[in-house]
Every structure is written in structure tokens, then in C-alpha cells.
Amino acid sequence: MTTVGKVLVTGGVRSGKSRHAESLLADAPAVTYVAAGPRYDDADWAARVAAHQARRPVGWSTAETRDVGGMVEAATSPVLVDCLGTWLTGVIDDAGLWDAPVAAIEAHVRGHLDALLAALAATDQAVVLVTNEVGLGVVPEHRSARLFRDLLGTVNQQVAAACDEVHLVVAGRVLRL
């Protein structure tokens, strides 16, 4: 059944988040699938992307972009964003900010996040966003990992507040929060 409203789907790596998110929009005749992260140049990543692409129905179109807010704003059909974790990585990578002061990184991310939040508030389309749940384990040793964890936690909280529902996927099982 096509999801009405906005849903954030979160969980760990390989938990079944993307498959669940796709199922929420399976009945929609047209969906824009926003692949928001960087493209890595290795066989494992290529295989993961190919598996995702093979699952998508024929009527779905794919946009590879970091302009997630712009895609949601322009949407005339449901949108699936996969995923906010890779999107965040790409936003920081594109600006070359991993070694910048935290305040500069936060300000840069904030601009992208504000555009997404405004688009979510304005759209009448169904929007399903996939993200990773990070920070349930130990404090990472490296600055970039701590920074990513903290920023994604903030992104997830803000996007969750803008959504009608949040689904936590654990071991392929879905908990509606």
C-alpha cells in the first residue's frame, strides 16, 4: 500500500531498511528514487547498488543527487530517499570539510538539512527516507567517525520530527515508533 505522508525508516546496516522502505511505496505507479550518497569505486559497492536497482519496479525513476530537498520540493509523485547517512557523507565530502572546525561543518550541513526540512513541510507527496541508526555502540576512536555519528544523530532527530511516522528495522522486523 502506498504510504500517505512522510516516513523515516531507520536501523542498522543490512537490517532490511531499504527493502522495507521500498515496500511502503510498492503500489505507487511512479516513484522517484533519490540515491543521495557518493558512488564508491569498488566491486562490493557496485554489487550493492545493482541489487537495489534490480528490486525497483519499472515505473520508478532514479536520481543520483545530494539535492534531496530540491528533489522533494519538485516531486509530483512519491519519493524514496536512500539514504541520509550516505547523503551526509557526500555533503561533507563534496565540500572537503572533514578536517574543518566542527562549527563550519555543522553550518554547512545545516543549510542542506534546512532545505530538506522545508521541502518536507511543503510537499503533499508521500516521502519515505532511509537512514542509519548510529551511536548505539562505543564512542568511535577517530574524529571523523565521532563527527559523522553526532551529525547523523542530529539529522535523524530533525527529520523524524518532520515525519508522520518513524519505523525502526531490526533483523528484518519493523517496529513503528
Residues catalogued as catalytic: 52
Count of beta carbons in the 10 Å neighbourhood of residue 70: 15
- Give the span between the Cα atoms of 38 and 142, in whole angstroms: 21
Q: Are 72 and 144 in contact (CB under 8 A)?
A: no
Q: Are 78 and 128 in contact (CB under 8 A)?
A: yes
Number of Cβ within 10 Å of residue 79's Cβ equals 27
Q: Are 78 and 31 in contact (CB under 8 A)?
A: yes
Sign of the dihedral defined by the CA atoms of residues 98, 101, 104, 107, in that order: positive
